[in-house]
Amino acid sequence: MRFMFRLYLCILVLTMVSTACALQTAAPSKPASDAGRSLAGPEEASKWPMYAAPRLTIDQEGYLHLLWLAAESPKSWDILVSRSEDFGATFSPPIALKPDKGTGAEGHQIATGQNGTVYALWRERPPKTKTARLYLARSQDYGKQWDTSPRVVSVSDDVGFPQLLTDREGGVHVVSLVGPKGHRVLDVMSSHDEGTTFSSTPIRLTAAIPTSEYGITNPRVVSDGEGRLYVVWEEMKSRSDTRIYLRQSLDRGKTWADPVLVSTPEEGEHRAYFPQIVASPNGQVYVVWQQDEFRADAAAQPGGLAKPDKFIAVNRSLDYGQTWLPQPIRLNQQVDQDPLVSATPQLSRDQRGHIYATWIEGDHSFPKRLLFARSSDAGMSWSDPKVRLDLTSPFGGRPAHPMMRSDDTGHIWIVWQEISPDQKQWQLLVNRSDDGGVTWPPATPLTSVTLGGGGYRRVSFEDDAHGRLYVTWEGGPENSHALYLNRSVDFGETWLSRAVEIGRR
C-alpha cells in the first residue's frame, strides 16, 4: 500500500498540464440509457492496478474518447485510450499507445480533428538518460485503430510538457517549452495535413524581453478552430516585475506577430502571473490572470510585514489579438483588512459577446469562496455583486479547481472539487445556470457517496454543445485506482445516480 501511494503521488505530480483543445460539432441525437458498465472485465483490468489522470475529448460524431495513464510499477507505465459510441454508457476495451513499457509517460493530451482523426500526445524520458521525447499517435477511424509506431515530434534534454491543438482545416500543432531553465523559449511544430507530415524545423517563439529572467514561463496556447492560434505567457522582467504577453498567428501557425503586453501598462512594476486564455472565431480574445497589488497603506497593516492582495484581472481584444484595452479590468476587490487571496481563474465565452469568469477566493491563503461573474458587453463591464457558488454546495467543504463550460443559448456549467475542513473527505460538484449566469440552483454532487482520502483529484470535463456533459475523475469509494465518469444528457439538469466505473483491480 505504501508503494502504491507513493506511485500515485508521483503520477499526479508528473501529469500537470493544461487542458487539450478539441473540435466539437454535430453529434448523434439519441442518447443511450443510464445503465453503465466498466470498460474492462476483471481479467483485463487486473493487468493495470492503477488508472490515473484521465483526459476527455469529443469528436464530430459525438463519440467520447478517453486517454489516461496506467501503471503497475514505476518502470511499467502505459498510455491507454478508449472510446464510447453511446454517450459514455459503455467503453471499448483499452488500446495501449506506448510501445516501450519500460519508460514513464507524462503530460498526456488528446484532441480530435477532421475526418475521424483523433490525436494523442505525451512525453517520455527513457531510464538513465536526460533526453526526453514527445510522441504523437493518430487514429484515422474515430479511435478504432491507432498508429502502431507513434511519431517522435521532438527530442530534447529540456523539453517541457506539451500542448496539443487542432483546427477545422486539418491543422495539428504541438507546442512545448524548450531550452535551459534560465531562458525558456516556445517551439511550435505544425502539420497542415492531419498529422501526416510536420515541418522539419519548429517555429521558435522567444521572450518579449531579451534580458528577462527565465524567459517564457507558464504558457497557454489556444486555437479558435478556424486556423488562428494564440499563445499567452508569463515573463519576469525582474524579481518584482512579472508581466503577461501574447503573440498570435492568423495563418495556421506559419507566421507570428510581435509580442503584445496584455497586463498593466508599461509604467510601474507588474506582478501578473498564471494567465488563461479563450478565443472565438469572430476575433474576440480574452486573457485572465492573477495579479498582486500592495495597498496604499501596506506599511501600516498589522503584523509589520506587508502582503499584497491577490486579485483577478482580465483584458480583451476584439480584433484577433492586435489591440487591447489600455487598462485591464479587475474582477474582484478586497473584502476587509485581511490580505485577499484569489487563484485559479477560468474563462468561458459564447458567440454573442457574453464572457464568464470563475475563480477561488479567500483570506490568508484560505480558500473558502467560489465566485462567478459575467459580462454581456464583450468584457467591458462585469456583474456585481458576484455570485458565490460555494453557498450552493450541500457539502460545505473548501472549494478548489473550478472548470467551466458554456454554450450559445445561455447555459453555463461549473464543476469544482471540495475537501472537508478536516481534510478527510472529498466531493466533486457541478452547478448550472440556464439564463446566462443570472440564477443558479443548488449544486449537484457527482459522486454517489462522499469519498475519503482528502486530496484533490485529476478531473476532466467536456460538453458536446448539444446538452451532453461528461465529467471523469480518478479514484472512487470501492477502488482508489480506477477511473469514474458521470454524465448528463439534458443540459446538466440530471446526472447518473451512480457513476460509471472504468477499470477494476
Residue with cell 466505473: 501
For 64, 347, 350, the CA distances from 440, given in Å and listed in that order, are: 28, 18, 18
More confident residue, 498 or 335: 498
Query: Please, are residues 345 and 220 in contact by the beta-carbon 8 Å criterion?
Result: no
Chain segment 14-69, per-residue pLDDT in tens: 443 333 333 333 333 333 333 333 343 333 444 445 899 999 999 999 999 999 99
Enter the C-alpha cell of residue 119.
490525436
Give the rounded distance of the alpha carbon of 505 from its chain centre: 28
pLDDT of residue 50: 84
pLDDT of residue 359: 98
More confident residue, 309 or 297: 309
How does residue 335 score in pLDDT terms, banded at 50, 70 and 90?
A: confident
How does residue 266 score in pLDDT terms, banded at 50, 70 and 90?
A: low
With helix as H, strand as E and coil as C, how does 49-104 read?
CEEEEEEEEECCCCCEEEEEEEEEECCEEEEEEEEECCCCCCCCCCEECCCCCCCE
More confident residue, 370 or 11: 370
> Whole-angstrom Cα distance, residue 69 to residue 13?
13
Identity of the amino acid at 244:
I
Mean pLDDT of the chain: 85
Chain segment 213-261, per-residue pLDDT in tens: 899 999 999 999 888 999 999 999 888 889 999 999 999 999 999 999 9
Picking from 146-160, 223-237, 263-277, which range would have the lowest pLDDT averaged per residue?
263-277
pLDDT of residue 26: 35
pLDDT of residue 103: 80
Give the rounded distance of the alpha carbon of 143 from its chain centre: 22
pLDDT of residue 264: 77
Identity of the amino acid at 54:
P
How many C-alpha atoms does 440 have within 13 Å on its Cβ side? 23
Picking from 157-171, 275-289, 311-325, which range would have the lowest pLDDT averaged per residue?
157-171
Q: Are strands 183-191 and 213-223 parallel, antiparallel or unpaired?
A: parallel
Torsion angle, alpha carbons of 475, 478, 483, 484, to 10: -100
For 162, 325, 498, the CA distances from 312, given in Å and listed in that order, are: 26, 16, 36
Statement: residue 96 has pLDDT above 70: yes
How does residue 505 score in pLDDT terms, banded at 50, 70 and 90?
A: very low
Picking from 167-171, 228-232, 288-292, 478-482, which range would have the lowest pLDDT averaged per residue?
478-482
More confident residue, 306 or 203: 203
Chain segment 433-457, per-residue pLDDT in tens: 999 999 999 999 999 888 887 789 9
More confident residue, 345 or 44: 345
How does residue 76 score in pLDDT terms, banded at 50, 70 and 90?
A: low
Statement: residue 94 has pLDDT above 50: yes
More confident residue, 478 or 25: 478
Statement: residue 84 has pLDDT above 50: yes
pLDDT of residue 34: 39
More confident residue, 258 or 265: 258
pLDDT of residue 13: 38
Residue 328 per-residue DSSP state:
P
pLDDT of residue 404: 98
What average pLDDT does this structure show over 288-309?
Answer: 74
Picking from 35-39, 179-183, 386-390, which range would have the lowest pLDDT averaged per residue?
35-39
What average pLDDT does this structure show over 377-391?
Answer: 95
pLDDT of residue 423: 84
> Whole-angstrom Cα distance, residue 84 to residue 24?
15
Percent of the chain past pLDDT 70, that is, above it, reads 85
More confident residue, 503 or 334: 334
For 291, 411, 423, the CA distances from 390, given in Å and listed in that order, are: 23, 19, 17
